Amino acid sequence: MFPGQGSQREPSDPAVIDSARRILGFNPFEADKINLTAYAQPAILSYSVAVLRTLDSKPNYLAGHSVGEYTALVAGGVLSFEEALKAVHYRGQVMQEAVPVGQGGMLAVLGEDPDKLAWLCEQVSGTVAVANYNGPAQTVLSGDTEGLTAIQERLKQEGIKKVLPLPVSAPFHCKLMKPAQEKLADYLAQLDFQDSNTPIMSNVTAKPETSGVKLRELLIQQVTAPVRFTQIIRFLKSVGVTELIEVGPGKTLTNIVKRMGG
Is residue 66 part of the annotated active site? The answer reads yes
What burial letters (b/e) apply to 13-29, b meaning 16+ CB within 10 Å? eeebbebbeebbeebbb
Candidates 7, 169, 173, 202; catalytic one: 173
Output the CA–CA distances (angstroms, integers) from residue 124 to 94, 104, 121, 127, 178, in the order listed: 27, 15, 6, 8, 21
Is residue 173 part of the annotated active site? The answer reads yes
Q: What is the dihedral of CA 52, 85, 87, 143, to 10 degrees?
A: 70
What type of residue sits at position 19? S
Candidates 66, 142, 169, 202; catalytic one: 66
Q: What is the dihedral of CA 139, 142, 143, 149, to 10 degrees?
A: 40
CA 119 to chain centre: 23
Report yes or no: 52 and 72 within 8 Å, Cβ to Cβ: no
Three-class DSSP labels, 90-115: HHHHHHHHHCCCCCEEEEEEECCCHH
Instruction: Give the N- to C-terminal CA distance of the chain in Å, as an integer.
Output: 14
SS3 157: helix
Instruction: Please give the order of strands across the beta sheet that includes 62-63.
Output: 62-63, 200-201, 208-209
Report yes or no: 255 and 135 within 8 Å, Cβ to Cβ: no
Which of the residues are catalytic?
Answer: 66, 173
